[in-house]
Structure 1
């Protein structure tokens, strides 16, 4: 059905129209009897039927051209309407697609920003834990120096007390424990530094992705705002083709998903490492506290043993000193007894000597003579016994003096050991940190 605004069909001419334009075929011109005088007038002329056919052909061509132009105008008008509607729909669909794309970009941008903030916060927490490890490592220097100083001080004990006792065993155990703790703390510090570096690398990857998302969001948001009335639109024919390195929606979403997934993995590893650091510091502090208590208990017990040993030695020394005094008095008495007996012996010898001068028959073995001889023999036996006893007493006194010297030396050794263990070692252990876990928080 024809549109109301379409023009009426043209009026068909009354003359019959041939089906196609006739080709005028030149015919043989009739020869005139006038000869050469009229030859030029007859050269290009047609017959009358040819002329009619020629006119009919021109009219047909004009009619078909007008009809074709009318159809072209109708098609053009329809095409204009269709193109306008299609362009409007395409632009609306593109705008809706860009809007949806903006939502997708915004979603991933928010997720990336959230992950960046969480990863940054987690990195700061891990850095704080790493600082705790470093402070704990610094705090172990004092206990280690205390233990080494204790061991070196106890090397200055004198030989009788220079033994591998329970105190030395506990000190060696404490030194090994502190070395192990220091090695563990150093390894954990390296592990924390590596994890912090991994967190920051992944944070940078997420930040680069987030930055690209922000830039892309701004570009697409600008694209959504374009319309046919925009003044800054122009042709860019080269932008129609797809870039060879362009991603697909699936790979685009997977890229951000992988970044977030790796960030989550690093964050989880960081959280686990922080928990491990807490456990390490707590366990190390508890082990050091228990070992410190064991060493102090060993010192207290050993000092009590030394005090008891020194007290027993002092008691023995007091008894030895008393025995020495008694022995010296005994020697004095023995010497006096010997002198007394020698005086009696001199008297008996003198009597015998004088009686040996009796003349002739008066030199008789009478009862006084026998008694004097018996007296001399008895006094000689007593003197020999007293002299032997005097020698024994003098040897006993010498032994007592040697024992006194040994006891005094032993007491001095014990006093030196007590001074080293109680004054030097235990006094220096007062500087021992109370709690490694508390020390890790101190500035």
Structure 2
């Protein structure tokens, strides 16, 4: 068999072999060139894979260096791993401590804003309750004005039943009209103020609801952050949430978060201050309205008292004049009777004188003389006729005076009746009704 040269080579080491490892060489396999080789006759004609002794030592040295290089690389990796583990542990601890501090600072900020919201909610709730009480006062004051308004209108209607000549537009009527107009204006003012109070209460409740929602959100977030602050590495509630490390698109920034609460507090405080100013205004309105109504009521009562005094004085004077007129009527009746008697008394002397003249006119011839007796009789008749004429004229005057006195008596009696009726209306009707006028506390909205 022909001898053949077999060349066996080892593949080169990979590029990742450490630098301390010896490079591998290409080794020639021992050739079997004769019958006296180590292979012996049994292997004659076959290829052999045995290494040379030098190659064996070189291979051992290569294994030693490879083991050393692997151990050295492993030691460096262990050291680097331990250092990396320590660094990452320290970094994780620092990061966790920083996150815990940030969560704690966030809790403090949230607690501060939550406390501010809670304080504002308490103040706004108390302010709303006070405004509700003022609204109740307004309603009570409005209800209380119904009584004096009905009294004023009833007084005006009652005084319309006065008779002439007492049906006049006197000072009492002017004060009553002023009172009725004042009551109408105050009622309109109270109604407008009630509507303003209702609107302010609605705004207060809206701001309170907004602050309550903000406060509720902060309480929930505070509880969440407080729970997060209690988490430790040994906590059993923690677990992996791979997709949690991202920012929500609708998330707010710290600036917008603080500005949102600031704006809520600002709006709430603004409405609270507006509510307080409205309460002060309501108190002034109620106080001024009660004082104005009380002053006007006193003015009307004073006008009634003065008018009643005037009527009483007029009726007293009329009664006095009536008494005097009645006495004068009596005297005049006696005078008329006396005049009639005087006229009657003159009839007999006139008859005597006329009869004498008539008889003497029958004297015969020269005896029909115009003697002094004749002249005296004629003069007597004339005097008696003149006396009768004067008495009859005086009788007519006395009768006319008596009729005038009777007319005056009737007029006085009628006027006294009118004054009595006016006094009854003003004193018994109007002033008695005005005794039910509400007090100044009731007009101010207190029970």
CA drift at 1:353: 2.5
**Distance in 2 (alpha carbons) for counterparts of 1:250 and 1:69:** 52
Unaligned runs of 5+ in 1: 1-9, 25-40
CA drift at 1:22: 7.3
1:7 corresponds to? none
Instruction: Give the alignment of 1:129-208 within 5 angstroms.
Output: 129-208=134-213
**Distance in 1 (alpha carbons) for counterparts of 2:235 and 2:112:** 28
CA drift at 1:439: 5.9
2:248 counterpart (243, 264, 269): 243
Residues 268-319 of structure 1: CA deviation (Å, up to 9, x unaligned): 1222222222221111121122112211111111111111111111111111
1:259 corresponds to? 264
Residues 219-261 of structure 1: CA deviation (Å, up to 9, x unaligned): 0111112222222222222221111111111211121122122
CA drift at 1:357: 3.3
CA contact (8 A) 1:433 1:439 kept: no
Residues 62-97 of structure 1: CA deviation (Å, up to 9, x unaligned): 887776555444433332222222111111111111
Residues 96-125 of structure 1: CA deviation (Å, up to 9, x unaligned): 111111111111111111111111111111
Distance 1:144 1:438, change over 3 A: closer
Instruction: Give the alignment of 1:88-107 within 5 angstroms.
Output: 88-107=93-112
Equivalent residue of 2:435, what SS?
A: helix
CA contact (8 A) 2:287 2:444 kept: no
1:416 corresponds to? 421
**Distance in 2 (alpha carbons) for counterparts of 1:124 and 1:158:** 55
**Distance in 2 (alpha carbons) for counterparts of 1:182 and 1:359:** 111
CA drift at 1:203: 0.9
- Farther-moved stretch of structure 1 (286-295 vs 356-365): 356-365
1:271 corresponds to? 276
Instruction: Give the alignment of 1:66-81 within 5 angstroms.
Output: 71-81=76-86
CA drift at 1:440: 2.0
CA drift at 1:55: 7.5
Instruction: Give the alignment of 1:89-128 within 5 angstroms.
Output: 89-128=94-133
**Distance in 2 (alpha carbons) for counterparts of 1:401 and 1:411:** 15
CA contact (8 A) 1:281 1:436 kept: no
2:391 counterpart (371, 386, 395): 386
CA contact (8 A) 1:206 1:260 kept: yes
Normalising by structure 1, we get a TM-score of 0.84
2:14 corresponds to? none
Q: RMSD value over aligned CA atoms?
A: 3.0
Q: Does 1:302 align with 2:307?
A: yes
CA drift at 1:144: 1.1
1:377 corresponds to? 382
**Distance in 1 (alpha carbons) for counterparts of 2:414 and 2:156:** 23
CA contact (8 A) 2:140 2:442 kept: no
2:292 corresponds to? 287
2:89 corresponds to? 84
Equivalent residue of 1:159, what SS?
A: coil
Distance 1:12 1:249, change over 3 A: closer
CA contact (8 A) 1:282 1:437 kept: no
CA drift at 1:343: 2.0
Unaligned runs of 5+ in 2: 1-17, 28-45
1:368 corresponds to? 373
Instruction: Give the alignment of 1:21-100 within 5 angstroms.
Output: 71-100=76-105
2:437 corresponds to? 432
CA contact (8 A) 1:281 1:437 kept: no
Equivalent residue of 1:157, what SS?
A: coil
Residues 194-230 of structure 1: CA deviation (Å, up to 9, x unaligned): 1111111111111111101110011011111222222
**Distance in 1 (alpha carbons) for counterparts of 2:100 and 2:337:** 132
CA drift at 1:334: 0.9
Distance 1:365 1:235, change over 3 A: same
Normalising by structure 2, we get a TM-score of 0.84
Aligned length: 410
CA drift at 1:185: 1.4
